[in-house]
Structure 1
Amino acid sequence: MARNDHFSAFAATYAQFRPTYPDALFGWLARQSDAHGHAWDCATGNGQAAHQLTPHFERVTATDVGAAMIAHAPPHPRITFAVGSAEHPPIADHDVNLITVAQALHWFDLPAFWQTCQRVLQPHGVLAYWGYLLPQITPAVDALVIAYHDDAVGPYWPDDRGPLLTHYANVCPPAERIPTPTFAMNATWTVDQLIGMLDSWSATHRARAATGSDPLAPFGARLREAWGAEATRPVSWPITVHAFRF
């Protein structure tokens, strides 16, 4: 795998169980952009954010270092998918109105990425990046998810994930900050979907490879018991969005 390609080995699971970003976020981003010709979704994964940009931009370039992730992205006539890094994308100079980075900025060489933003953005172009952490369901379920995240697979998270854990509070590109409203992802999920999301974590797969056992298996029954009799429950993920004008 390429550097910081943490998900290609289980790209299908990732594509199936990651939550969907709110449409309101992309409407707000479009309103911050002076023009709507070209957006770049950097580290697109399975193309989730790229697809949500298409109602607002004439064309979208979506890049990722993981070829398998790109292979699991559904095609769209206005999206050009390409394997490429954040630091060296196949994009012409000053050709982009908006850059988005969803749940991935912590993997980048940031000084090199800021230079790329300055190169590909048109004057007054916008960079927006965001991240989220654990879902909010019920106190009992949330406590088990935290225990799984921190203890069961805690030692197997990649080291460079640190900035995400602080919601990118100490990351600041050389550009003018745009005040951002509050956003959240909301869904109605079954317990199996929650377990699938935990299975899409890179730490789960790193733990399996390192120990030869499945860290998720002991938590399945406990999560089902804590979930209760309800077939589905509302799930929410607060999102921290940062936006800058170059």
Structure 2
Amino acid sequence: MPSIDRFSGHADLYRQYRIDYPAEVYDYLLSFAGDRQRAWDCATGNGQVAGVLADYFSEVEATDISEAQLSKAVQRPNIRYQVSPAEQTPFPDQHFDLITVAQALHWFDVEAFNREVRRVARPGAIIAEWMYGVSFVDDTLDPLIQDFYRNRVGPYWDPHRRHIDEKYVNLSFPFADVQQRQFIIHRYWTADRFLNYLRTWSAVQNYIRQHETDPVEYLAEAFAGIWGEEEKDVKFPVMLRVGRV
């Protein structure tokens, strides 16, 4: 199964408008990590997670298949970025104490990735995978957001997107001592900030390539007079699962 890259073409937009993750997510996953010598952030994108892990681990390896994304990544002296697929990496056997994958597992050949995790993880290492679903704001805006997600750009999602809706329940996680926890990320955004976030969606970019028009403008028109000028609490549901190799 070839690697799938849906984000190189809008790496700048992705860097500016994708969400980051709150301290409580990292506090939870790091509570399982005893040894903190080496971490691997797989499908790192622009290095959001790698930059945080660098505060806790002596060495952080961060990989992605998108050279464009890596060119925008946060730079730290103990992070090394490399272009590499998730399923076949240049790392030695039994090398990492922690492996993380944020909002990317659904793009992988998961069985091949699990084999690679077992190869490069030290005995007892931690594997942490998480994803976030469609955001929600309030009773007035949520139906518009859901209609945009399912109908306006719904046909332009790759089939892999269903794993997000299913919260990864059909993606194997054959590790020990599995723990799962849900979080809500709160971001206080203007309408313009939220609409630019939507432009980072792969389905929106697929729509733009096919039709040479921006579907987010339809939603902007629907938002007019509803959102207003103020910031609203945009909530992202996060599901995180942790296991031991």
Please indicate the TM-score interval, normalised by the length of the shorter structure.
over 0.9
Query: In the alignment, which residue of structure 2 is the partner of 1:163?
Result: 163
Distance 1:11 1:177 in 2: 36
Q: Which moved more, 1:209-218 or 1:36-45?
A: 209-218
Report deviation, 1:205. 1.1
- Partner SS state of residue 168, structure 2: coil
Report deviation, 1:174. 2.1
Report deviation, 1:228. 2.6
Distance 2:242 2:92 in 1: 22
Query: In the alignment, which residue of structure 2 is the partner of 1:53?
Result: 53
Distance 2:235 2:160 in 1: 25
Distance 2:152 2:75 in 1: 36
Query: In the alignment, which residue of structure 2 is the partner of 1:150?
Result: 150
Query: In the alignment, which residue of structure 2 is the partner of 1:78?
Result: 78
Q: Give the TM-score, by structure 1 length.
A: 0.95
Q: Unaligned regions of 5+ residues in structure 2, if any?
A: none
Matched, 1:197 2:207: no
Distance 1:233 1:172 in 2: 36
- Partner SS state of residue 60, structure 1: strand
* Equivalent residues of 1:22, 1:184 under 8 A apart: no
Distance 1:193 1:145 in 2: 14
Report deviation, 1:221. 2.2
- Partner SS state of residue 184, structure 2: strand
Letter of the 2:132 counterpart: Y
Distance 2:172 2:110 in 1: 10
Q: Which moved more, 1:84-93 or 1:39-48?
A: 84-93
Report deviation, 1:140. 1.6
Report deviation, 1:182. 3.0
Letter of the 1:112 counterpart: A
- Partner SS state of residue 226, structure 1: coil
Residues 214-245 of structure 1, C-alpha deviation per residue, up to 9 Å, x if partnerless?
A: 2121211222322134x211221120011111
Query: In the alignment, which residue of structure 1 is the partner of 2:216?
Result: 216
- Partner SS state of residue 86, structure 2: coil
RMSD across aligned C-alpha pairs, in angstroms? 1.4
Query: In the alignment, which residue of structure 2 is the partner of 1:20?
Result: 20
* Equivalent residues of 2:191, 2:228 under 8 A apart: no
* Equivalent residues of 1:39, 1:53 under 8 A apart: yes
Percent identical pairs in the alignment equals 34
Letter of the 1:212 counterpart: E
Residues 139-175 of structure 1, C-alpha deviation per residue, up to 9 Å, x if partnerless?
A: 2222211111111111100112221110101223221
Q: Unaligned regions of 5+ residues in structure 1, if any?
A: none
Query: In the alignment, which residue of structure 2 is the partner of 1:243?
Result: 242
Distance 1:25 1:212 in 2: 38
Letter of the 1:94 counterpart: Q
* Equivalent residues of 2:39, 2:57 under 8 A apart: yes
Matched, 1:225 2:225: yes
* Equivalent residues of 2:99, 2:127 under 8 A apart: yes
Report deviation, 1:12. 0.6
* Equivalent residues of 1:41, 1:61 under 8 A apart: yes
> What count of residue pairs does the alignment treat as equivalent?
244
Report deviation, 1:111. 1.3
Letter of the 1:116 counterpart: E
* Equivalent residues of 2:183, 2:239 under 8 A apart: yes
